[in-house]
Structure 1
């Protein structure tokens, strides 16, 4: 009696929605490049931010409908590489860095490459059991969406104030290289997930409403402030992670057990 080989199942129907959201994020990143070519800087920035919003909800939708898959993870990484690596690099190059000629293009390439390396490192560590940063509730380096939002901060300021010095190619090159380095660094940064107590949920909703209203009424000052606050939070995240490392190292020692390895 011959046994019929089982047909490989394709992508389940419930995975269509989150993968569609990821594809929309990819389209937003590509559209940002188009607006940058047309020198419509406001629309270019907004498309990158739209991609960041879509990137933030596609994973949650996948977990909600139980449609997490390797295909979705690979598509998400491809979308992130274009929307948060290639698109911001080209926007900054067309906006300012092209005045530096080959050096400006090199800086843009470095940012896009470092973003891709950051995403590759993230994918390589998905199945690793020993992840000290993740187990403590932190990320390794700044994530790609945050890197894109930070590297475009001079553009927010320029759209807000229209000061000519904010478009300085040398300054933009240094800033771009700095953010690219933060993305591939091993520093601990706060994860975007926040668990709220029941007695502060109303206050959190009020803060969110104020933030959305500020983004609608004064987007560029608000984005500048948010980017600045995130950058300021990095030293606090590093200090917080070091404190957790010390506590983890001291607990087994006091109990007489072996000390865990932490990288």
Structure 2
């Protein structure tokens, strides 16, 4: 039997490799103090991470190799790279403890990915079966940990770079990644038929805003995501209660 991966599996895995390289390139820009380019590289890695799985399903190129490569890429691009950037940008002003906080982000990201991989073949996955995720996904966690950077880009205020602002926020995002909190996934979102055109228009406007005022847009998207977390918890609670009632009735 021929060894290796098929041709249709090359495209999604190549996109995954690109995401990994963008994440590490962000570290390179962070070392030289080019913070906007550094953050942009990690955000681009997140965009590519959202594409590779869809490309794989479209080409029917899913594979165990691709799943393993995706997890390794996510751990580096959304765990290691943001942790190093946040440390170089702010947390190094807090000796020892600052490095521990940065390590917390990278470690929690790796643990979240390990938990996700371990549960792939599990028979019972309450969150997934209801269309929700368990905890904040790694790409979203990377985007959220940069919120102080977005604020600094937009306002130029030095307070957003202070360790006493960045450290608690980084720890909170790390906790959300490893938590059992139910968060929305794409499959959990249901659109009414009468607003689908409006949603498409909003997506186009969002793309335009990202090109013209990227940091304000990313800050707004991040705050909206955080605001949706309590609604995700309440939505999953309703689904779980409905299942319990249905089970009791049956």
Residue 212 (structure 1) aligns with:
207
Residue 261 (structure 1) aligns with:
none
CA distance in 1, matches of 2:140, 2:21: 19
Map of 1:237-248 to 2, 5 A cutoff?
Answer: 237-248=232-243
Larger Rg: 1
2:248 is the alignment partner of 1:253:
yes
Q: Please report how far the alpha carbon of residue 202 of structure 1 lies from its aligned counterpart in structure 2 after TM superposition.
A: 1.6
Map of 1:103-252 to 2, 5 A cutoff?
Answer: 103-193=97-187, 194-252=189-247
CA distance in 2, matches of 1:166, 1:229: 19
Which of the pair is proportionally richer in helix?
A: 2
3, 23, 26: which one aligns with 1:32 = 26
Residue 258 (structure 1) aligns with:
none
Q: Please report how far the alpha carbon of residue 198 of structure 1 lies from its aligned counterpart in structure 2 after TM superposition.
A: 4.5
How many residue pairs get aligned? The number is 249
Unaligned runs of 5+ in 2: none
CA distance in 1, matches of 2:156, 2:192: 42
80, 99, 103: which one aligns with 2:93 = 99
CA distance in 1, matches of 2:231, 2:85: 30
Q: Please report how far the alpha carbon of residue 195 of structure 1 lies from its aligned counterpart in structure 2 after TM superposition.
A: 4.9
2:50 is the alignment partner of 1:44:
no
Q: Please report how far the alpha carbon of residue 197 of structure 1 lies from its aligned counterpart in structure 2 after TM superposition.
A: 4.7
What is the aligned-residue RMSD (CA, Å)? 1.1
TM-score, length basis structure 2: 0.97
Residue 17 (structure 1) aligns with:
11
Q: Please report how far the alpha carbon of residue 61 of structure 1 lies from its aligned counterpart in structure 2 after TM superposition.
A: 0.4
- SS for the counterpart of 1:189 is strand
Unaligned runs of 5+ in 1: 1-6, 256-263
- SS for the counterpart of 1:129 is coil
CA distance in 2, matches of 1:81, 1:122: 12
CA distance in 1, matches of 2:69, 2:17: 8
- SS for the counterpart of 1:128 is coil
CA distance in 1, matches of 2:4, 2:31: 38
- SS for the counterpart of 1:216 is helix
- SS for the counterpart of 1:139 is strand
CA distance in 2, matches of 1:72, 1:199: 38
TM-score, length basis structure 1: 0.92
CA distance in 2, matches of 1:205, 1:124: 36
CA distance in 1, matches of 2:191, 2:10: 31
Residue 259 (structure 1) aligns with:
none
